[in-house]
Amino acid sequence: MLEVILISIIVMIWICFGRTAKWHIAFLRPGAKRSESPGSGRFRCTVQLQKEPGGTEVFIVKIKGRVVTPSDMYDMDIQVLLADVTDGADDPKPVLGTVSQWQMEDSPVFCYRVHNGKIPRRELRISEWMTVATIRADYLQFPRQGRRKIQFVASLISHQSSAELVCAGAVMDYENAQTGYIDITEDNNQARVLTVRLAVAVADSEGRSNQAQLDVIRQWIDEHIMACQSNTGKLVIRDLLGGALRETAELIESNRQVDIESVGREMARALEVIERYNAIELCLRIAGQGDEISGRQIDILRRTAELLDIDGEKFRAMAQKLLPVRSGRGDYTNFILGITDDMTVEDKREQLNDEYCKWNGRVTSRDTTIQDQADEMLALIAQVRNDCVEQPCANG
Amino acid sequence: MADIAGIDLGTTFSAIAILNSIGKPEIVPNAEGERITPSAIYFDEEDTEIIRVGIEAVNSRQLNPDRSVRWIKRYMGDDEYRKSIDDKQWTPEELSSLILKKLKQDAGSEHGEITDVVISVPAHFDEIRRKATMDAGKMAGLNVIGIVNEPVAAALYYATNNDVSGRVLVYDLGGGTFDVTVLDIDGKEINIICSQGDHALGGVDFDNKIVEIFERSYREKFDADLIETDEDRAKYEDEAEDVKKTLSRRNVAKKMLYGSAGSMKVEISREDFEEAIGPLISRTDMLVDVILKEAKCKAGDINKVLLVGGSTRIPTIQGRLEEKFGFAPEIAVNVDECVSLGAAIHAGLTKLRDEPNEVSSGVAGGLKDVKLTDVCNHSYGTICAPRDSETGQYVIENSIILDKNTPLPCSKAQTFYTMVDGQTELQVSITQGEDKDPDYVNKMATEIFELPAGRPANRPINVTYSYDANQRMHCTFEDVDSGSVLEVEFAVGDNGQLSDKNVSAKAAQLEGLKVK
């Protein structure tokens, strides 16, 4: 199953990146005839890896050999294309460019092309290695992190027609310290799977989830399917997330619980900041669909927010917006109002004043839902102030 | 010259005052000889041509609550509220206009015709509710020359009738709303520092707590509901108000409760009442804390606390204020009348500023030393899309341009930038509210600003908001490169709810109605 998914992901990436004919011709496939100039000076290419004074790694691409052009004063470009051939020359994977200047016209695949100028005579002999490109490693994105085999193909091509006159390749080993794009896609998909698991765990925390909660999860999955541009990609995401939804629901039905700690840690590792916020928002939305918020839901939500390194005040603002105002649990009320155990009575008073000021400003909203929510919040704040500040409660 | 008047359009009671020949405000009693008029309306069943307003409406209420309206101020500006009477759907503005019509009518029969008025509103009323109040006045055939905040009106009256100077906190707890204002008074010069209000806190809410005690006591004794019909509710709401007033004078109040399961006597002590209203009192305490913080001062910096509104008669409220400020609050003016009296002074000041030739020399002389500097009641901003520093994503945000409590007149500007290459239009919104989250602010106006084509992103747009002394707001959006300007100007609360034409048409419809 995992292999199928992996292959699908790679197919998807290829499709998404627009594997054009232009990119295709860059690779020296087994059995393909190399375009070489006849005679003794075979056209060749070599690559060296150097570190610049600032520590930036650069690939120095050099060529030498004989080039024969169709005519004198022939106008030429120099082009360098890269492919990751770690998995074999018959399974090359694109190397992407991170700077738009060095990308192909219709895809993010790396393409270095510069105008060389006119060559005076039909035959050109380059007897010494001549540098034709200096490529910064941080302008490149490889498929995966770690030790890679990178193929460099240098070509001389017609400036007018882009017809290739001559090309040569060189392969070098490279230790890629950056996360690869396939790694990222896999991580993203894995993170989405984990998000679905977490969402189901929030919905099912009391051994039951309602239809509205499941609809929120399904809608989230649909949005991710729709966001994928290719049909193959849509199928992959649908199978992946639909499967996660089913498997997690089955897990919970068999009275086993989702390991929130490991799921949260894995998500924190794999997700970008914005995706972490999106994940916690999904969970809050689901919890908000329930009749009332349960103790376990609060625990899961708060712990997940901690694991995902969500800013405490932002999390509370999201919770105030998406969760019901009351739960009957004192710790939930304190959380919603931003009251912590270490606060003095004066701190609590100030915190409640701030909350009162905020919700009092919202109560005149033209939106009746917000008006009702503000009315409820004001009543809750007043009750807590009356109970905990006017007559200090146990931990006050 | 027609009389200049001030009207306190209250949740439970209303009052009208006029400026006398030497510029002193005087309450004009109603046709029943009362100085304040209950803000209650009753649509007579027998004679559908007659609409009763005031004490008669209160007395008739228990007979048929369906044809009765009270506390309409709480719905002012609510475009979803409708009271259905004999196939007519009455809006809050129309209903309020009936109360104003009664005040105008009664005062007119005592003096000459009343036309130019200032109507008071709670300080926390937003622009929409202020506009709705003005519309109600126009529908009643009044020329509403201005709107004044209730605590400001009270302070105006207080400052012009007492020798006072220093920092004053006006504590205005009325029938349905609660406002607190901090101001500096130096003789007859008044500078408003800030105002805060709670829209749903007043005598009505205290009454409801007593109704809850009635219901709970009855259920405990008979295991049955005391209130089964709207008539029952209307009856016990009135009984509750009576109990509340009694508890301001005595320690215990007694009432008979008559329900379908039997009758019983209930005794409510002041302690019971204070416990029941505890959370509501906490809200008043919080609002005082909030305003002190907003005024950047402490309780010890306040020289006087001025009580306004009938609900300030509740002893625990006075006691708590004394405890907080270290001195007894002042009841130097009539808590039920001072707002209308102050509104009349405000009306005189407005007339003097806008049409000095239309003000008699006596009134002008009486008001010559009075100076009032008011502030912006709310924050005004616009919707923009800055980048979030944590997520790196664009977020839709309300950016405040004109801060709440800025002294009037004022003008503030900010520069924003276009977002994308080739942007040819910009949706500009004018918001009211303090929140950054656009979901929690009210959009007062939204317009499209056309921009020149073919430009890169990040072109500067200067946004200027100004607010003049007549409470007219001017908003200007200027494309700096092309010099193109979009101007948005509107009066207080002008959200397009009711055009002047519609208000005039409604006024004509209501003109023929008999209000008694």
B374 vs A: CB within 8 A: no
Contact predicate A79/A155, CB 8 Å: yes
B286 vs A: CB within 8 A: yes
Contact predicate A176/A148, CB 8 Å: yes
Which residue in this structure is represented by tokens 């803000």?
Answer: B39
The amino acid that residue B13 corresponds to is F
The amino acid that residue A248 corresponds to is T
Which residue in this structure is represented by tokens 């023929």?
Answer: B512
φ/ψ (deg, to 5) at A375: -60, -45
Same domain, residue pair B391 and B429: yes
Dist. CA A316–CA A321, nearest whole Å: 9
Residues of B in contact with A360 (CB under 8 A): 124, 196, 198, 287, 290
Contact predicate A349/A390, CB 8 Å: no
* Nearest CA-CA distance, residue B287 and chain A, Å: 8
Taking only Cα atoms into account, the Rg of chain A, rounded to an integer number of angstroms, comes to 30
* Nearest CA-CA distance, residue B172 and chain A, Å: 17
Token pair in block for residue A66: 């004989």
Looking at residue B243, its pLDDT comes to 94
**B33 Cβ contact partners less than 8 Å away, ≥ 6 residues apart:** none
Does some domain include residue B26?
yes
**B292 Cβ contact partners less than 8 Å away, ≥ 6 residues apart:** B182, B298, B299, B302
Task: Among A281-295, A316-330, A344-358, name the most confident range.
Answer: A344-358
Give the domain CATH number at B244.
Answer: 3.90.640.10
Residues B180, B184, B190, B191, CA torsion sign: negative
* Tens-digit pLDDT profile for residues A44-74: 999 999 999 888 999 999 999 999 999 999 9
Nearest chain B residue to A353 by CA: give it: B286
Contact predicate B231/B65, CB 8 Å: yes
Tell me the pLDDT band of B490, cut-offs 50, 70 and 90.
low
Burial bucket for residue A105 (CB in 10 Å: 0-12, 13-18, 19+): exposed
Nearest chain A residue to B495 by CA: give it: A366
Looking at residue A15, its pLDDT comes to 42
DSSP code of A325?
Answer: S
Which residue among B200, B282, B440 places its CB closest to the CB of A365? B440
Contact A362 B129 (CB under 8 A): no
The amino acid that residue B198 corresponds to is D
Dist. CA B377–CA A364, nearest whole Å: 13
Does some domain include residue B123?
yes
Nearest chain B residue to A390 by CA: give it: B282
DSSP code of A207?
Answer: S
Helices first, then strands: H and E counts in chain A: 12, 10
φ/ψ (deg, to 5) at B14: -125, 160
Nearest chain B residue to A360 by CA: give it: B198
Residues of A in contact with B286 (CB under 8 A): 352-353, 356-357, 381-382, 385
Total Cβ atoms within 10 A of residue A242 = 14
- B499 or A304: which carries more pLDDT confidence? A304
Looking at residue B498, its pLDDT comes to 54
Contact A353 B289 (CB under 8 A): yes
Dist. CA A139–CA A98, nearest whole Å: 5
φ/ψ (deg, to 5) at A325: -70, -40
Which residues lie across from A68 on neighbouring strands? A123
DSSP helix/strand/coil, A277: helix
Strands (E), A218-356: none
For A130, B37, B426, the CA distances from B342, given in Å and listed in that order, are 92, 17, 44
Same domain, residue pair B20 and B153: yes
Token pair in block for residue B247: 């508890």
Which residues lie across from A140 on neighbouring strands? A97
Helix axes B92-110, B500-511, angle to 10 degrees: 60
- A157 or A240: which carries more pLDDT confidence? A157
Which residue among B80, B290, B439 places its CB closest to the CB of A357? B290
Kindly report the pTM of this predicted structure: 0.76
Same domain, residue pair B439 and B466: yes
Contact predicate B181/B170, CB 8 Å: yes
Interface test with B, best of A348, A353, A370 (most B CBs within 10 A): A353
CA dihedral B105, B109, B111, B113 (to 10 degrees): 50
Q: What angle do CA B56, B61, B64 make, to 5 degrees?
A: 130
Looking at residue A254, its pLDDT comes to 66
Contact predicate B404/B431, CB 8 Å: no
Mean pLDDT score, B330-335: 78
Contact predicate B425/B450, CB 8 Å: yes
Total Cβ atoms within 10 A of residue A98 = 14
* Tens-digit pLDDT profile for residues B202-247: 899 999 999 999 999 999 999 999 999 888 898 999 899 999 999 9
B421 vs A: CB within 8 A: no
Can you spell out the DSSP letters for B223-268? Answer: SS-S--SHHHHHHHHHHHHHHHHHHTTSSEEEEEEEETTEEEEEEE
Element holding A381 (H helix, E strand): helix A368-384
For A112, A202, A293, B436, the CA distances from A257, given in Å and listed in that order, are 52, 11, 18, 39
Pick the CATH number of A2-28+41-178 from 3.30.70, 1.10.357, 1.10.10, 2.60.40: 2.60.40
Which residue among A356, A368, A370 places its CB closest to the CB of B439? A370
* Nearest CA-CA distance, residue A386 and chain B, Å: 5
Dist. CA A315–CA A318, nearest whole Å: 5
Q: Name the pairing type of β-strands B165-173 and B380-384.
A: unpaired
Residues constituting chain B: 516
- Report chain A's mean pLDDT, rounded to a whole number: 82
Looking at residue B494, its pLDDT comes to 45
Contact B290 A353 (CB under 8 A): yes
Taking only Cα atoms into account, the Rg of chain B, rounded to an integer number of angstroms, comes to 25
- Residue B400 clears pLDDT 80, i.e. is over it: yes
Dist. CA B197–CA B190, nearest whole Å: 20
Looking at residue B501, its pLDDT comes to 66
Contact A386 B282 (CB under 8 A): yes
Tell me the pLDDT band of A22, cut-offs 50, 70 and 90.
very low
Q: Give one word for B47, left, alpha or beta, with left for phi > 0 and alpha for psi -120 to 50.
A: beta
φ/ψ (deg, to 5) at B63: -70, -40
Residues of A in contact with B279 (CB under 8 A): 379, 382-383, 385-386
- Residue B495 clears pLDDT 70, i.e. is over it: no
Does some domain include residue B61?
yes
Looking at residue A112, its pLDDT comes to 95
Contact B286 A383 (CB under 8 A): no
Nearest chain B residue to A350 by CA: give it: B289
Bond before B409 cis per omega within 30 degrees: yes
Interface test with A, best of B133, B205, B289 (most A CBs within 10 A): B289
DSSP code of A122?
Answer: S
Token pair in block for residue B176: 């349905």
On whether ipTM exceeds 0.90, the answer is no
For A57, B99, B318, the CA distances from A53, given in Å and listed in that order, are 9, 84, 76
- Residue A12 clears pLDDT 60, i.e. is over it: no
Same domain, residue pair B405 and B361: no
Residues of A in contact with B289 (CB under 8 A): 349, 353
Tell me the pLDDT band of A10, cut-offs 50, 70 and 90.
very low
Looking at residue B322, its pLDDT comes to 95
Among candidate residues B34, B147, B37, B130, the one with its CA nearest the CA of residue B77? B130
Residues of B in contact with A357 (CB under 8 A): 196, 286, 290
Same domain, residue pair B84 and B147: yes
Strands (E), chain A: 44-51, 57-68, 74-84, 93-94, 96-97, 111-119, 123-136, 140-141, 146-158, 164-176
Tell me the pLDDT band of A189, cut-offs 50, 70 and 90.
confident
Does some domain include residue B455?
yes
Does some domain include residue B508?
yes
Dist. CA A230–CA A249, nearest whole Å: 28
**A53 Cβ contact partners less than 8 Å away, ≥ 6 residues apart:** none
Q: What angle do CA B364, B368, B372 make, to 5 degrees?
A: 115
Contact A361 B392 (CB under 8 A): no
Looking at residue A170, its pLDDT comes to 94
Contact predicate B314/B244, CB 8 Å: yes
Under CATH, to which class is A194-324 assigned?
Answer: mainly alpha
Q: How many domains, in total, are found in chain B?
A: 3
Dist. CA A10–CA A84, nearest whole Å: 13
Residues constituting chain A: 396
Give the domain CATH number at B120.
Answer: 3.30.420.40
List residues in chain A touching B: CB distance below 8 A: 273-274, 277, 311, 314, 317, 321, 349, 352-353, 356-358, 360-368, 370, 375, 378-379, 381-383, 385-386, 389-390
Domain boundary among B276, B295, B313: B276
User: What range does the domain containing B262 cover?
Assistant: 203-276
Tell me the pLDDT band of B497, cut-offs 50, 70 and 90.
low
Element holding B40 (H helix, E strand): strand B40-43
Contact predicate A117/A151, CB 8 Å: no
Contact A386 B435 (CB under 8 A): no
Which residue among B128, B393, B433 places its CB closest to the CB of A274? B393
DSSP helix/strand/coil, A232: helix
Contact B392 A383 (CB under 8 A): no
DSSP helix/strand/coil, B96: helix
Element holding B317 (H helix, E strand): helix B315-325
Domain boundary among B256, B276, B296: B276
* Tens-digit pLDDT profile for residues A208-260: 667 788 888 888 888 877 777 667 767 777 777 777 777 777 766 666 677 78
Q: What angle do CA B364, B365, B371 make, to 5 degrees?
A: 75
* Nearest CA-CA distance, residue B503 and chain A, Å: 21
B275 vs A: CB within 8 A: no
Same domain, residue pair B28 and B127: yes
Interface of B with A in 158-217 (CB under 8 A): 196, 198-200
Contact predicate B211/B158, CB 8 Å: no
Token pair in block for residue B313: 């008669």
- Residue B348 clears pLDDT 80, i.e. is over it: yes
Tell me the pLDDT band of B407, cut-offs 50, 70 and 90.
very high
Interface test with B, best of A364, A368, A369, A376 (most B CBs within 10 A): A364
Does some domain include residue B198?
no
Tell me the pLDDT band of A157, cut-offs 50, 70 and 90.
very high
Whether A194-324 and A2-28+41-178 are alike in CATH topology: the answer is no
Q: Domain extents for chain A?
A: 2-28+41-178, 194-324, 334-396
Contact predicate A266/A191, CB 8 Å: yes
Mean pLDDT score, B309-320: 91
Which residue among A274, A353, A379 places its CB closest to the CB of B391? A274
Mean pLDDT score, B103-124: 84
Share of chain A above pLDDT 90, in %: 40
B390 vs A: CB within 8 A: yes
- Residue A82 clears pLDDT 60, i.e. is over it: yes
* Nearest CA-CA distance, residue A139 and chain B, Å: 21
* Tens-digit pLDDT profile for residues B139-155: 998 999 999 999 899 88
DSSP code of B498?
Answer: S
